[in-house]
Amino acid sequence: MNQSKLMSFGAIFFIAIILLVALSNSLFLTIDPGQRGVLFKRFSGGLDKENIYKQGFHVIAPWNKVYIYDVRVNEAFEKMQVLSKNGLNITIELSLRYFPEPEKIGDLHENVGDRYLQRIIVPEIRAATREVIGKYFPEELYSSKRESIQTEIYERTRDAVSKKDIIIDAVLIRDIELPETVKGAIEEKLEAEQAALKFEYILQQETQEAERKIIEAQAKAESNRILNASLTDNILRDKGIEATLELSNSPNSKVIIVGGGDNGLPLIIGN
């Protein structure tokens, strides 16, 4: 009797082990870093949007299911053809960084699902790009307005997808392809503008140099005027006498004639 009970217990234990192993994938769940999970209760209420499963080990009922979402920043690329303001066909390539709002993946799963990139982000960024590019001419896309265009596409896409619990981290313009004829014309125009700016800079420098010389000449003329006004005949005569006295004390050979010249200044005759 005891042996029969032991065998029955062993069989039950063996079956339990088999069932545990078979159901281990449904019972035990590990959520990796950078992931979140939302539980679907098959027999008691459906999708549990309030309790989001975070990273770590979890035990769930085998008849329930957890949907895993990657909430790290992901990158996608989009290449498309759009029309500029003057109707020119332009190829533009974008890169975007995005991720689902971690605490709202229950709503995201219920309303959109895990294919939210294809269902929401791509259509919205295509619509935003067409609308924004259509307001600009090709030369603006190629040079001066590129950064503002990029910002405008990002803001429009961000505002649209945020309503679906998706976050757009950045939208970047990787490349803009124009027809070769248009591209060549734009490059020639830019080179001409650069040459004009260079000429304007040189002209400005020359003008400043001319103004400097005029100011310098005016200052010199004013200095001479003041000096001439201050040099009277008596001052010149005194300066001549002082110079004569200094020369008379010099050991060099000389002849000094006092009173020569129209103004009576000394005349000094050397060797």
182 falls in which pLDDT band (50, 70, 90)? low
> What count of other Cβ atoms lies within 10 Å of the Cβ of residue 37?
20
Report the pLDDT averaged over residues 223-243. 68
Rounded to 5 degrees, φ, ψ at 38 are: -125, 130
| Burial class of residue 32 (count of CB atoms within 10 Å of its CB; 0-12, 13-18, 19+) | exposed
Average pLDDT over residues 142-158: 87
**Domain boundaries of the chain, sorted by first residue:** 18-70, 74-178, 181-230, 233-269
Please give the pLDDT value at position 240.
67
**Mean pLDDT score of the chain, rounded to an integer?**
79
| pLDDT over 90 at 29, yes or no | no
DSSP 250: S
Only one residue has tokens 């769940």, namely 29
Return the CATH number of 74-178, one of 3.40.50.11540, 3.30.479.30, 2.30.30.30, 3.40.50.2300: 3.30.479.30
Count of CB atoms situated within 10 Å of the CB of 194: 10
pLDDT surpasses 80 at 231? no
pLDDT of residue 205: 83
* pLDDT above 90 (res 154): yes
